[in-house]
Structure 1
């Protein structure tokens, strides 16, 4: 399936057998930005970087090699190989000590990258590729991978604050537990503060349809939300004593509040689907909103259901 592999000079940070950071590239400025981010993530994890380009043209059965009438280095295959070489050089410039390999893999991008995610520690993609429509906020590859990937997916977008915190969106759901673990680990790797935010509404009922005798106790509700936030973080806080954690309750509508808070972060972390999501939905409304509108890169962490043969 792999048509081409090349290796940059071995880096001292390679750690065989523990998975790689994988980044998908298509030659767009967005994907080159993703390469630099992925190289940094590989350095932080002490692992290798794998740069992948999905080569669709063989599937469409079009000529791949240089035309006899054209330059010898022409043709779709050579163009793809140049794209990969440029990406490897970009990674080397960003993180010289990280070993990077590149692969030209025959197939459609969504399928290729989803398969790559099965053995990756982290998948990194740009927010938009060459095929994006003008005005589109997020490419289909990023959305699909966030919803279907088998490992955490980091979508490079926005303008990260270099010394800002890692922002964690907490909802207390079982599906969000993986995001909590990932955010603590990422904050530890980066030497950053963890800003754990939980957004709630002060009223149980909002709007003209409120029951006329609705009774609620704001103080009691706030106490319950504070407990939810503390309990969601408790286990990881013990496992990552080096991470300074700031817990914050925010009030308002979840999506706009988190989008605004992401302005101060170097990374925003969210679960793929939390409380209130429809059964079977792979990507919740909050994670989708952050993918499209967050002001910093977004990591989406999806919890996979155990397979039946493993007793799940």
Structure 2
């Protein structure tokens, strides 16, 4: 059957992990804000079974199907429990049989946004992103929200939305989404620009104020039109001199949401996820939305 653009609304990858539950909770409130449907999708990857296959294949298949139904049912209950008093969005559930990342990427073509846990079952620690979340933020055609297990609870709507901006096409797309998210939440927006991509130390005779001024000009140029379009959003500009990821991670402690582009200065078409957005998605203390140019 032919699909319509955006028919999945917010697509949530679910697998029963604590991170997956957090992504469902976050998506529930995002769907209410956007008045858009939610799709809960669980993908059953092809089983790798050692010899003798015939003795175990049937039982494994049956267990995986039962587990998929349980995961979807629990995700649906979690979603409805986090809608609150708002009108419930339309909810659809799907179980797919294929490679997990390829199947989710195909569905992302028909989604407004994808929400995924930072890691799934079997991952260890928070030092790296899970293979599914990493694959999605590298290649999904729509924004991807990465949520950690300790996140996804009702946010403090008095906290701002944090935007990392560097003047690239990726950050332009991120800026558009950040203003929209802040407006929907009735929140302020902190726009952070780091004018150095490397850690720096004072050098005799170097005019640091000149670089700060240039950074301020970048922010002013990039934000002007959006501030006119969203007069309800109070914007706080921050120009810093240090590694961008370090400041974004630090500022995320006081934010309800972080939004970054997935290719920054020096990037080129087809380049893998920038180191800044990768580090922020991995370590921020708030849900992170990574946006393609």
Q: Does 190-199 or 159-168 show the bigger shift?
A: 159-168
2:91 maps to what in 1? 100
SS at match of 2:36: coil
Deviations 1:142-198 (A, max 9, x none): 111001001000001265761310000010112211000010111111111111111
CA displacement at 1:137 relative to structure 2: 3.6
CA displacement at 1:135 relative to structure 2: 5.5
Note if contact 2:160-2:187 (Cα within 8 Å) is conserved in structure 1.
yes
SS at match of 1:75: helix
Alignment gaps of 5+ in structure 2 = none
Map residues 154-193 of structure 1 onto 2, 5 A cutoff. 154-157=145-148, 159=151, 162=156, 163-193=158-188
Q: Does 1:139 align with 2:126?
A: no
Q: Does 1:122 align with 2:113?
A: yes
> 1:242 and 1:297, CA in 2 relative to 1: closer, same or farther beyond 3 A?
same
Q: Once superposed, which parts of structure 1, at least 4 consecutive aligned residues long, lie more than 3 Å away? A: 16-19, 57-67, 133-137, 158-161, 203-208, 277-280
> 1:37 and 1:276, CA in 2 relative to 1: closer, same or farther beyond 3 A?
same
Larger Rg: 1
1:37 maps to which of 19, 26, 31 = 26
SS at match of 1:249: strand
Q: How many residues align?
A: 278
> 1:252 and 1:282, CA in 2 relative to 1: closer, same or farther beyond 3 A?
same
> 1:229 and 1:17, CA in 2 relative to 1: closer, same or farther beyond 3 A?
closer
Note if contact 2:43-2:98 (Cα within 8 Å) is conserved in structure 1.
yes
CA displacement at 1:220 relative to structure 2: 2.3
Note if contact 1:59-1:107 (Cα within 8 Å) is conserved in structure 2.
no
CA displacement at 1:88 relative to structure 2: 0.7
CA distance in 1, matches of 2:290, 2:139: 11
SS at match of 1:269: strand
* TM-score, normalised with respect to structure 2: 0.86
2:72 maps to what in 1? 84
CA distance in 1, matches of 2:90, 2:119: 26
CA distance in 2, matches of 1:32, 1:294: 18
CA displacement at 1:258 relative to structure 2: 1.4
2:63 maps to what in 1? 75
Q: Does 1:20 align with 2:9?
A: yes
CA distance in 2, matches of 1:171, 1:48: 32
1:263 maps to what in 2? 253
Alignment gaps of 5+ in structure 1 = 2-15, 68-73, 304-312
> 1:47 and 1:84, CA in 2 relative to 1: closer, same or farther beyond 3 A?
same
1:111 maps to what in 2? 102
> 1:18 and 1:254, CA in 2 relative to 1: closer, same or farther beyond 3 A?
same
Deviations 1:107-161 (A, max 9, x none): 1111111111101001000111013135544211111100100100000126576
CA distance in 1, matches of 2:23, 2:178: 19
Deviations 1:71-119 (A, max 9, x none): xxx6321221111011111111111612211100111111111111101
> 1:159 and 1:89, CA in 2 relative to 1: closer, same or farther beyond 3 A?
closer
1:250 maps to what in 2? 240
CA distance in 2, matches of 1:51, 1:159: 18
> 1:136 and 1:198, CA in 2 relative to 1: closer, same or farther beyond 3 A?
closer
Map residues 291-310 of structure 1 onto 2, 5 A cutoff. 291-303=281-293
2:38 maps to what in 1? 49
